[in-house]
Structure 1
């Protein structure tokens, strides 16, 4: 099981950011799972989560 969009990345309701995150999540997840075999799904989901976490978090600089 994995989470997508607002359920995974809480966003302030501004300019459809939650919807944009959900679309990007779905694209990244679909790409990751496209070549995964059933035994590799858990590791693929871990890599998906790590990849999205690195690009979906709010960074203050």
Structure 2
């Protein structure tokens, strides 16, 4: 994950109800770009090249 995604995650950790428009200001991205990055994290994956993969299993998943 790049530093922009970490900025977004920090802001969401501070305020989980923050709007994409407000996140846009912290991440220096457009609102649709912020929404896309948040959706990738919500889906449980975010790839940052061939060497790293971060996976957050869904609640209640096994394994």
TM-score after normalising by structure 1:
0.32
Higher normalized strand content (fraction of residues): 2
Higher normalized helix content (fraction of residues): 1
TM-score after normalising by structure 2:
0.32
